Structure 1
Amino acid sequence: MADVKGDAEALVPKFKFERILNQDQAGRRTSLHGTIEEQPALLILERASFPSSADYLGAVAGSLRTLKNLGANDIYHWYLANSGSIKPAATSENDSTDDSDVSFADLKINLIWPCTEKHVKKYSKQGVRYVTETPAIYRDHVRPYMQAQREAGRLNWAFNIIEGRKEAEDVIYRTPFGQAEPADEGFLLLPDLNWDRKTLDTLHLLGLVERRDLWSLRDLRKKHIPWLRHIKTKFIEATTALYPTVEPDQLKLYFHYQPTYHHLHIHIVHVALEAGATQAVGKAVGLDSVIDQLEVMQGDDDAGMDAVTLCYTLGEASDLWVDVFEPLKLKVAAEAIAEDQK
């Protein structure tokens, strides 16, 4: 009886690589063209999920072959690492493999230290809810929540970047700090900490504004339209100048709502970056969509995004769900029951 399984397993080692056809899922899946026994073959490689073994996961941090820091700011640190599963060969007897180990990085690592309970909740597995934030809910509940987050000092890392104390070497473009005309319209552009800084199809940049009176897209008004268009132009020009193979129509710009931190910022990503949770409906709001909505909005120049209803997703462990939306949901349910009992 033929050993079907054994015969199938024997095929892969015979694969002779010719060229890369495609890389997708942020580089986690690669399609290769080659031959097996002189016949054309496609080999599709995809990284498996991390095993759930506590023994394995507990040993990962101490077993890395190489670790290169990409940046550090306040409690946030990010790295490229080589897990050591495959060691790239040196190109000659005199070459060190250290550099190739780094370029061969198969892990992107983010470290938050010391972390808070808020970080723990954010990164824990949890249920997700789709909520509706009316102008009244924003005014009476969400805006006070935002203010409390800002007053808790959770924006130090962003102010470090804006004022040039951290990550100055990473800034791709900026208006001279405090010298923009008018003075409150300065901004800067730098790599997002989740990008590996080399794979252009997964390019992800972050645009920060200098001014501190704009906490989120909720603070944008009709009077900001020219400024928003100017920012869009400058960010696209700076990105395509630094990465000449990227064209303007290969970029998309968006806000997060609710944002992770409450200081106005814009995400600039390559259109080939596959949309995960951070680009999904209920999280990402296109810059062009916000400009268009402001343009058609009735009212004077102070009419703004605080007057519209926004729908978005929240984790069940988030403070906004626990402290705001879940109590509002329970209140509405209780009122409905009371009304039915009349």
Structure 2
Amino acid sequence: MSLESQGIQSKKPKLNLNLHENIKDLSEFKLGSVLQNSTNRKVVCLRGSFQSKEGEAVVILEKTAFSVDDLTSDSKFFCEKNQLEKIFHNDVYGDYKYFPIQELNSIKATIIHPATEKHIAKYSSQTFYIIEETPDIYFEIVLPHITDQKFDLQWVYNILEHKSESDRILVEDTDPNNGFVMVPDLKWNGEIDTLYFLAIIKKINIKSIRDLTSDHLPLLKNIRDKGIAAIKNKYGLESSDLRIYFHYQPSFYHLHVHFTYLRHEAPGILTERAHLLTTVINNIELLSDYYQRSTIPFVVRENDKWFDKFVEKGIVKRRNGI
């Protein structure tokens, strides 16, 4: 059943896809500012624009992880075409810059265009605060914010309706109540060492773990079992190799589950945001309305629009005292 037939209409205009259809390089990208430079993750987020294209853009450049499959005795990493530049040596220790050949030196690029203020805020460096979200805080501040903001989910609907990324689907269950679609996350570079999939549910009225009750246990177990089986079948990974979790708060408000390789330190796996699927299932089995009663911590950014509401209610104080 299509979203339109369910009475769900997108109020957002269609995105201009011309940039993504024709772009070959970044020669037309004009840098405005550096939003964030993560020396730990080797990721830089840039704000700017493209010549002859309307609207701002966010460009994310990330140095890719090494693939174990490429590190063999006859690997191209160990050939004379690569260059070493010595910085210094001291006794048995030597420090060098290593310049591998082009095919081993790729950088993953993500381009968001046209970028909204929400995109720019999301990828900007900023101050974070922990909010202990009680049910009262959820209903008084968080839920109205989610409702009022009308977060754009058109890209999610495109996946569910096979209008986009249909060739990337790993597994799909079309059941209207317990069905889901699993696709690679935008952050995954395709190497098994950084494996990252999203399982997006078919139902459109579940925003986050706050909405989950015992009625949804068949859905959650279906995602767990079929997601694990699909990854094992294609990539040979066991369930014990996987980190399967929800985000709270999620980056978009249509229930989805993250599947990542346990060895991969993916963004958002820290305790203040990640909730393991097995733990969520167990909590609901213990108490049907667990997530309607519980206090759930999450991180809020200082330049988020709703941060001022938490300050006004005395839930959090700005660190500068203002």
Do the structures match in fold with TM over 0.5? yes
Structure 1 residue 202 and structure 2 residue 188: aligned? no
Whether contact under 8 Å (2:243, 2:260) holds in the other structure is yes
Structure 1 residue 157 and structure 2 residue 163: aligned? no
Larger Rg: 1
Which residue type is aligned with residue 318 of structure 1?
D
Q: Which residue of 1 aligns with 2:264?
A: 273
From 222, 236, 240, give the equivalent of 2:214: 222
Which residue type is aligned with residue 328 of structure 1?
K
Per-residue deviation, 1:288:
0.9
Structure 1 residue 308 and structure 2 residue 294: aligned? yes
Change in CA separation of 1:50 and 1:290 when aligned onto 2, cut-off 3 Å? closer
Which residue type is aligned with residue 177 of structure 2?
D
Q: Which digits, 9 at most, give the CA deviation of each residue in 1:88-122, with x for residues without a partner?
A: 89x9xxxxxxxx95x53521111111111111111
Structure 1 residue 104 and structure 2 residue 104: aligned? yes
Q: Which residue of 2 aligns with 1:146?
A: 146
Structure 1 residue 231 and structure 2 residue 223: aligned? yes
Q: Which residue of 1 aligns with 2:22?
A: none
Structure 1 residue 284 and structure 2 residue 277: aligned? no
Q: Which digits, 9 at most, give the CA deviation of each residue in 1:63-83, with x for residues without a partner?
A: xxxxxxxxxxxx99999999x
Per-residue deviation, 1:145:
1.2
Structure 1 residue 175 and structure 2 residue 173: aligned? yes
Counterpart Cα distance in 2 of 1:125 and 1:115: 16
From 224, 232, 235, give the equivalent of 1:243: 235
Change in CA separation of 1:249 and 1:51 when aligned onto 2, cut-off 3 Å? closer
Per-residue deviation, 1:331:
9.0
Q: Which digits, 9 at most, give the CA deviation of each residue in 1:282-336, with x for residues without a partner?
A: 1111111111111111xxx5x24122110111111112323x3222227999xxx
Structure 1 residue 213 and structure 2 residue 211: aligned? no
Counterpart Cα distance in 2 of 1:142 and 1:311: 12
Counterpart Cα distance in 2 of 1:157 and 1:76: 17
- Give the TM-score, by structure 2 length: 0.66
Size of the aligned set, in residue pairs, is 241
From 180, 185, 188, give the equivalent of 1:187: 180
Q: Which digits, 9 at most, give the CA deviation of each residue in 1:190-226, with x for residues without a partner?
A: 11000101x2121111110010010011110012123
Counterpart Cα distance in 1 of 2:147 and 2:303: 20
Which residue type is aligned with residue 107 of structure 1?
I
Change in CA separation of 1:127 and 1:166 when aligned onto 2, cut-off 3 Å? same
Whether contact under 8 Å (1:194, 1:204) holds in the other structure is yes
Which residue type is aligned with residue 281 of structure 2?
I
Higher helix share: 1
Q: Which runs of 4+ in 1 moved over 3 A?
A: 46-52, 75-82, 330-333
Whether contact under 8 Å (1:281, 1:312) holds in the other structure is no
Which residue type is aligned with residue 163 of structure 1?
E
Change in CA separation of 1:312 and 1:163 when aligned onto 2, cut-off 3 Å? same
SS of equivalent residue, structure 2 residue 177: helix
Per-residue deviation, 1:227:
2.2
Counterpart Cα distance in 2 of 1:160 and 1:142: 26
SS of equivalent residue, structure 2 residue 110: strand
Q: Which residue of 2 aligns with 1:122?
A: 122
Whether contact under 8 Å (2:178, 2:222) holds in the other structure is no
Counterpart Cα distance in 2 of 1:129 and 1:47: 20
Counterpart Cα distance in 1 of 2:63 and 2:280: 38
Whether contact under 8 Å (1:217, 1:264) holds in the other structure is yes
Change in CA separation of 1:304 and 1:331 when aligned onto 2, cut-off 3 Å? closer
Counterpart Cα distance in 1 of 2:58 and 2:219: 30
Whether contact under 8 Å (2:133, 2:296) holds in the other structure is yes
> Alpha carbon RMSD of aligned pairs, Å?
3.5
